[in-house]
Amino acid sequence: MKKKILVTGCAGFIGYHLCKKLINKNFYVVGIDDLNDYYDINLKLKRLNELNRIANLKDNQFIFVKEKLENKKSINELFKRYNLEVVINLAAQAGVTYSIHNPDSYISSNIVGFLNILEACRDYSIQNLIYASSSSVYGGNQKIPFSESDSTNHPISLYAATKRANELMAHTYSHLFNIPSTGLRFFTVYGPWGRPDMAPMLFANAIFRNKPITIYNSGNMQRDFTYIDDVVEAINKLILKPASSNLKFDRSNPDNSSSWAPHRVFNIGNSQPVNLLDFISILEEEIGIKAIKIFEKERPGDIKNTYADNDKINKWINFKPKTSLKIGIKNFVFWYKTYYGF
């Protein structure tokens, strides 16, 4: 019998693609999302419509629940009603810059909401918890590539601090209640149906409409752009391999990526960082229009360079990203033109 899986943030970018994959693989999927207005609600609703369409075509089960993670009573009722076995927590208040001006929403969603998920996992004996962290947790680190064994004690945005807090909270519950939990540090995920607040969508919007794009720190930044299909494939494999205790864990010389408890943390990146100006050049080439560029100083909270060391997740589930940046951008631009009618 197929597992019953809860995906929080199911109308979000990664959540949508993951649910689509799980529906096509005949899993019983329960999706939850509060459909907040951090970005275009219509995009979220269209993702949901697409998920319902796919589920109907496949005659598979997809149930959508509109709710906030902060509503503890509703979360408990949902766990009880659907007899869930696997929980994939992708819901969160996202955005580094937004966290500087709206800190309360990050504590409410990312801390209180995640605590409610952990408590429900405890009460209903969940077999596998997978949750979204972020490459932002590496903060002021300058050693690259970023490894899960590195220290993450110096975040430079509240968003990053809440994601690091999630990792610590999950580890505590793994230790106290033996909940297998896996944290995923995503590196700049992009692709079709992407988030409008992230660079690929912001740049494409401006280029297609002949409006200027703002480039911070004079473009002296590198990002480890990771294609959405590769991210979803990694999560799909992790569903079948819950976290387990590291039997060789040395408490006198601890490895930050694992524990004596059933808790693991993995990077999910492309491991091929690209200069931001080079990314824009590939985007310009695929769109066929030159960008109008405006250069600004560095923004508070921005990490200058991201670069994922994927060695640990490769060894754990044999994960290696397959999508080159040129193919990924080609797919993204094709979707963008279709969706927005260019």
Tally of domains within the chain: 1
Domain membership of residue 294 (yes or no) is no
Q: Does some domain include residue 282?
A: no
Tell me whether residue 12 is in a domain: yes
Q: Which two tokens stand for residue 209?
A: 């409409």
- The residues annotated as belonging to the active site are 159
pLDDT at position 207 is 95
| Residue 259 in domain | yes
Q: Does position 328 have pLDDT exceeding 90, yes or no?
A: yes
Average pLDDT, the chain: 94
Highest mean pLDDT among 84-98, 120-134, 143-157: 120-134
Region of poorest pLDDT, from 85-89, 301-305, 312-316: 301-305
Could you tell me the CATH number of the domain that includes residue 125?
A: 3.40.50.720
pLDDT mean over 264-284: 95
Range with lowest mean pLDDT among 15-24, 58-67, 78-87, 322-331 = 58-67
Say if CB 313 and CB 267 are below 8 A apart: yes
Answer yes or no: is 342 within a domain.
Answer: no
Domain that holds residue 235: 4-194+226-272+305-322
Q: Is the pLDDT of residue 301 over 70?
A: no
For residue 304, what pLDDT is reported? 80
CA–CA dist 117, 9 (Å, integer): 12
Q: What is the pLDDT of residues 30-50, one digit of tens each?
A: 999 999 998 999 999 999 999
- List, in sequence order, the alpha helices (H) in the chain: 13-24, 41-58, 72-82, 96-101, 103-106, 114-123, 158-177, 199-208, 228-239, 276-287, 311-317, 325-340
- DSSP secondary structure letter of residue 156: S
Q: Flag whether 206 is in a domain.
A: no
Q: Percentage of residues in the chain with pLDDT exceeding 70? A: 99
342 vs 340: CA distance, rounded Å? 6
- Identify whether 120 is part of a domain: yes
For the chain, report the end-to-end CA distance as a whole number of angstroms: 44
Contacts of 162 (CB under 8 A, 6+ apart): 92, 93, 99, 106, 107, 110, 111
- Has residue 280 been placed in a domain? no
